[in-house]
A and B are shown apart, each in its own frame.
Chain A
Amino acid sequence: NAGVMQNPRHLVRRRGQEARLRCSPMKGHSHVYWYRQLPEEGLKFMVYLQKENIIDESGMPKERFSAEFPKEGPSILRIQQVVRGDSAAYFCASSPRDRNNQPQHFGDGTRLSIL
């Protein structure tokens, strides 16, 4: 029973390049969340998506960051023109959302390093 799958586990980019992070939710889960963990910090909420819909993007930086969860395929977090400050661990979580406040199940994260 596969959990939340994220890839790649590690991603290295040079300043100005694009980073694409992928997340496949647990089977039967239709809700996806992205969080960012800066060094020595807790996780910060970025965005909450359902299939083909962004429900809450209040934690997303206004520029360069975007997220999608298409009808088919994984959710994608896209960071354009990366800068050093984007270096962090990015975690995806999913939940079934058949009731309120269902626990979110996390993937192992993508560790993004910007050179």
Chain B
Amino acid sequence: GDSVTQMEGPVTLSEEAFLTINCTYTATGYPSLFWYVQYPGEGLQLLLKATKADDKGSNKGFEATYRKETTSFHLEKGSVQVSDSAVYFCALMQGGSEKLVFGKGTKLTVNP
């Protein structure tokens, strides 16, 4: 079945550091790919998405590019802030399906 693998956390960075959170997927066909963010005690918020190969999703300084050849959708940000501290989930959705398949999440802590 379809699956998503994220890098193990937790990740701890200093403010203004560069962030990469790796995400790879296993799926048939051409799924849509998503990054969601979960702040403490809250639900998931859509951060960005990409629906086809080579698409780049971006939002709030975060970016991720849909790489079909490496089945990856790594999340990057050039300069993190304390307010970026949260858990980040990579997810996929197959065309014709309404199920989101999530990775286990990566907890990010940004220190001042």
Chain A interface (Cβ < 8 Å from any Cβ of B): 4, 6, 31, 33, 35, 40-45, 48, 55-56, 58-59, 91, 93, 95, 97, 100-101, 103-109
Q: Which of A31, A44, A45, A100 contacts B95 (CB 8 A)?
A: A100
Known: A42-B89, A100-B95, A108-B41. A35 touches B100 (CB 8 A): yes
Say whether A43 contacts B95, CB under 8 Å: no
Chain B interface (Cβ < 8 Å from any Cβ of A): 4, 32, 34, 36, 41-46, 49, 51, 89, 93, 95-105
Chain A residue with Cβ nearest B93? A101
Say whether A42 contacts B102, CB under 8 Å: yes
Q: Complex Cα distance A101/B32, Å? A: 7
Q: Which of A56, A105, A107, A109 contacts B99 (CB 8 A)?
A: A56
Say whether A48 contacts B99, CB under 8 Å: yes
Q: Complex Cα distance A67/B44, Å? A: 21
Q: Which of B42, B95, B101 contacts A108 (CB 8 A)?
A: B42
Say whether B98 contacts A31, CB under 8 Å: yes
Known: A41-B104, A43-B89. A59 touches B49 (CB 8 A): no
Known: A42-B89, A42-B105, A43-B89. A104 touches B43 (CB 8 A): no
- Minimum C-beta distance from A105 to chain B (A): 7
Say whether A103 contacts B34, CB under 8 Å: yes
Chain B residue with Cβ nearest A4? B43
Q: Complex Cα distance A32/B64, Å? A: 27
Q: Complex Cα distance A55/B100, Å? A: 14
Offer 5 A-B interface pairs, CB within 8 angstroms, sorted by A.
Answer: A31-B98, A43-B102, A100-B96, A104-B100, A106-B36
Which residues of B lie under 8 Å from residue A59 when comparing CB positions? 99
- Minimum C-beta distance from B30 to chain A (A): 11
